[in-house]
C-alpha cells in the first residue's frame, strides 16, 4: 500500500510540473520535484526513502503514457530536453481509474471502515460510504445504493494539489484568474495560506501582493499558474479559528459582530433547530403555532443574506432593524421582475406593476 501511495504521489507531482506552462522541466527537475514531494510526505525520519532514482521517474513517465494500464497521458519531449503535455489542458485527474487501481482503493476503504466506529473518526463514515459506493458502481459488482450531489464539469479542482503544496511549502504563486467584474483574465501574485470548501465550492485564502487583508480566491476562477520567483513573506499568518469564528461561509468583512434575532416559521423551524445557521445559534422562544425565535452572533456578510433569501418566506429578521431592511431589499428588488401568471399573456406587461400588494413586507416584525 505504501509503495502504491508513493507511486501515486510521484505521478501527481509529475502531472503538476507538466501542467505548469510557465516553466520548463528536464528529467532532473522532475526527479527533484518527486524527491521533495516524498520528503514532505514521509518527513525527516526516512531520508533514504525520499530519494527518487532516474530509472524510477523514467518508468513513471512510461507508465503515465501507457493507454492500457496507465493514464494515456500525452507526454512529449521538446527541444530534446524538456517534458510537457502535448495538450495543455490535460491532467491525469481527468483520466479514468483502472481496475487494478480500483482494487487497491477498495483495499484502503476496507481498512478505513474498521476505524469508523472509533471516537474522533465518526466524520469519515460518510466519506467512506461514498467511496465504497463509487467503487462498487465502477466495478459493476452490484448496483450502487448511494447518491451524492456533485457539480457538473467542476472547474479549478486540477489546481487543488498545487495550492495545497504551495501552502505547506510556502511558495509564492503567479496566478491568472477570471474576474467576473471585468469579464477578463487578471494576473496576481498570491501567497496561499488555507483551503476552504463551502457549499461545494473551494476557496483559497491568503494574501494578494499589494493588498492588505486576507484575499479570498475561488479556485474555479483560476485559469493558469506558475511559481513566482519571490520569497514568501515571513510575517504572514492565518488563523482559521479566528477568521471563521464569527462569519457564515468564507467572506470576512470589517464590520462588528452583531446579535441577530430572527423568527423561523413552523415548517422550517425544526430543520433550523437541528441544523444551526452558525455555531453561536441559540433558541430563544418556541411559540404555540410552532414558530421558533433564534439568535446568532455574526458579522453579516454575503453568505448570511444569501441564506435568508433562499429560505423565504419562512425566515423573518426581528432585529437589528437595518439588517432586516438590507435583507428585505433583496427580496423587494426581485418582486417587480416576477411574471404574473394569473393575467392573460398579452396584458401581463401592463398589469405587472399592480400585481403586488403595496403593504407586502417580508420582515413584518421590524
Residue after which a domain boundary falls, among 244, 272, 301: 244
Omega of the bond leading into 220 within 30 degrees of 0 (cis): no
Could you tell me whether strands 215-218 and 222-227 are parallel, antiparallel, or unpaired per DSSP bridges? unpaired
Distance CA 160, CA 167 (A): 11
Q: Which three cell numbers stand for residue 146?
A: 448511494
Supply the pLDDT for residue 76.
92
| One domain for residues 195 and 223 | yes
Question: What CATH number does the domain containing 37 carry?
Answer: 1.10.10
pLDDT at 345 over 70: no
Residue in 291, 216, 221 with CA at minimum distance from that of residue 250: 216
Do 14 and 76 sit in the same domain of this protein?
A: yes
Instruction: Judge if 44 and 116 occupy the same domain.
Output: no
| 8 A C-beta contact, residue 83 and residue 62 | no
Provide the greatest CA pair distance for the chain: 80
How far apart, in Å, do the first and last CA atoms of the chain sit? 61
Of 209, 244, 279, the position where a domain reaches its end is 244
DSSP 304: H
pLDDT in tens, 299-322: 998 899 988 888 888 898 998 988
Which of 97-111, 133-147, 151-165, 272-286 is modeled with the greatest confidence? 272-286
Decide if 147 is inside a domain: no
Is 150 part of a structural domain of the chain? Answer: no
- Tell me: pLDDT of 362 over 70: no
Q: Beta 222-227 vs 173-179: how paired, if at all?
A: antiparallel
What is the model's pLDDT at position 357? 47
Three-state SS at 246: coil
What cell was used for 12? 501527481
Which candidate, 170, 312, 311, 298, places its Cα nearest to that of 245? 298
The three grid cell numbers given for residue 142, joined into one nine-digit string: 452490484
Q: Quick one: cell of 324?
A: 432586516
Helix (H, G, I), strand (E, B) or coil at 318: strand
pLDDT score, position 102: 67
Q: Where residue 48 falls among pLDDT bands split at 50, 70, 90?
A: low
Under 8 Å between Cβ of 172 and 189? yes
Closest alpha carbon to 301 in 262, 343, 258, 248? 248
| Domain extent at residue 45 | 2-94
How confident is the model over 72-105, as pLDDT tens digits? 889 999 988 999 999 888 888 776 666 666 666 7
The residue that leads in pLDDT, 100 or 125, is 125
Q: If you average pLDDT over residues 269-292, what whole number do you get?
A: 92
| Per-residue pLDDT, 298 | 92
DSSP assignment letter at 251 = -
Per the confidence metrics, is the pTM higher than 0.85?
no
Assess whether 225 and 286 both reside in one domain: no
Residues 283 and 320 in one domain: yes
Residues 6+ apart with CB under 8 A from 204: 163, 190, 192, 194, 195, 216, 217, 219
Is residue 146 assigned to a domain?
Answer: no
> Of 154, 159, 108, whose CA–CA distance to 134 is shortest?
108
Q: Residue 282 pLDDT > 60, yes or no?
A: yes
Q: Report d(CA 256, CA 260) in Å as an integer.
A: 12
Mean pLDDT of the chain, nearest integer: 80
Q: List phi, psi (to 5°) of 286.
A: -115, 120
Collapsed DSSP state (helix, strand, coil) of residue 308? helix
- As to burial, measured by CB atoms within 10 angstroms (0-12 exposed, 13-18 middle, 19+ buried), residue 196 is middle
What pLDDT was estimated at residue 150? 58
What span, in angstroms and rounded, lies between the C-alpha atoms of 358 and 340? Answer: 16
pLDDT above 90 (res 264):
yes
290/311 same-domain check: yes
Q: HSE (CB half, 13 Å, CA atoms) of 169?
A: 17
How high is the pLDDT of residue 120? Answer: 62
CATH number at residue 161: 2.30.30
Q: Are residues 229 and 216 in the same domain?
A: yes
CA–CA dist 204, 250 (Å, integer): 10
- Residue 259: what pLDDT? 94
Are residues 349 and 262 part of one domain?
yes
Q: Are residues 46 and 63 in the same domain?
A: yes
335 in any annotated domain:
yes
- Is residue 28 helix, strand or coil? helix
- Is 292 part of any domain? yes
CA-derived radius of gyration, the chain: 26
| Range name among 115-129, 283-297, 302-316 with the lowest pLDDT average | 115-129
Residue 149 belongs to some domain of the structure: no
172-203: pLDDT as tens digits: 898 888 887 777 888 889 999 999 888 878 89
The verdict on 273 and 334 lying in the same domain is: yes
Q: What is the pLDDT of residue 21?
A: 83
pLDDT > 90: percent of the chain = 26
6-15, 108-117, 156-165, 281-290 — which is least confidently predicted?
Answer: 108-117
The answer to whether residue 151 sits within a structural domain is no
Residue 361's Cβ-count burial label (10 Å; 0-12, 13-18, 19+) is middle
Residues 135 and 70 in one domain: no
Total of domains in the chain: 4
- Assigned domain for 360 exists: no
Give yes or no for residue 361 having a pLDDT over 60.
no
Amino acid at each position: 500500500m505504501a509503495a502504491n501511495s508513493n507511486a501515486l504521489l510521484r505521478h501527481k507531482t509529475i502531472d503538476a510540473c507538466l501542467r505548469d506552462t510557465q516553466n520548463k522541466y528536464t528529467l532532473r527537475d522532475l526527479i527533484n520535484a518527486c524527491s521533495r514531494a516524498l520528503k514532505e510526505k514521509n518527513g525527516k525520519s526516512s531520508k533514504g526513502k525520499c530519494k527518487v532514482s532516474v530509472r524510477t521517474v523514467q518508468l513513471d513517465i512510461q507508465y503515465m503514457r501507457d493507454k492500457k494500464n496507465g493514464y494515456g497521458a500525452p507526454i512529449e519531449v521538446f527541444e530534446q530536453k524538456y517534458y510537457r503535455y502535448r495538450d495543455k489542458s490535460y491532467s491525469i485527474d481527468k483520466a479514468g481509474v483502472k481496475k487494478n487501481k480500483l482494487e487497491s482503493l477498495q483495499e484502503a476503504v476496507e481498512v478505513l471502515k474498521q476505524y469508523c466506529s472509533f471516537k474522533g473518526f465518526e466524520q469519515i463514515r460518510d466519506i467512506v460510504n461514498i467511496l465504497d459506493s463509487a467503487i462498487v458502481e465502477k466495478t459493476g459488482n452490484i448496483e450502487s445504493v448511494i447518491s451524492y450531489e456533485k457539480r457538473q464539469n467542476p472547474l479549478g479542482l486540477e489546481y487543488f494539489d498545487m495550492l495545497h503544496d504551495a501552502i505547506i511549502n510556502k511558495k509564492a504563486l503567479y496566478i491568472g484568474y477570471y474576474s467576473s467584474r471585468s469579464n477578463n483574465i487578471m494576473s496576481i501574485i498570491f501567497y496561499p495560506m488555507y483551503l476552504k470548501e463551502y457549499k461545494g465550492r473551494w476557496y483559497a485564502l491568503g494574501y494578494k501582493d499589494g493588498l492588505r487583508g486576507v484575499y479570498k480566491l475561488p479556485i474555479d476562477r483560476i485559469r493558469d499558474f506558475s511559481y513566482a520567483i519571490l520569497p514568501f513573506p515571513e510575517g504572514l499568518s492565518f488563523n482559521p479559528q479566528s477568521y471563521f469564528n464569527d462569519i457564515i461561509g468564507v467572506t470576512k468583512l470589517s464590520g462588528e459582530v452583531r446579535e441577530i434575532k430572527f423568527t423561523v416559521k413552523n415548517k422550517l423551524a425544526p430543520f433550523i433547530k437541528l441544523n444551526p445557521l452558525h455555531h453561536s445559534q441559540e433558541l430563544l422562544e418556541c411559540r404555540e403555532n410552532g414558530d421558533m425565535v433564534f439568535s446568532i452572533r455574526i458579522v453579516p456578510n454575503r453568505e448570511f443574506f444569501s441564506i435568508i433569501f433562499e429560505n423565504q418566506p419562512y425566515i423573518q429578521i426581528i432585529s437589528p432593524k437595518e439588517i432586516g431592511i438590507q435583507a428585505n431589499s433583496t427580496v423587494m428588488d426581485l418582486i417587480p421582475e416576477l411574471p404574473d401568471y394569473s393575467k392573460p399573456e398579452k396584458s401581463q406587461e401592463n398589469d405587472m406593476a399592480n400585481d403586488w400588494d403595496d403593504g407586502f413586507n417580508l420582515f413584518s416584525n421590524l
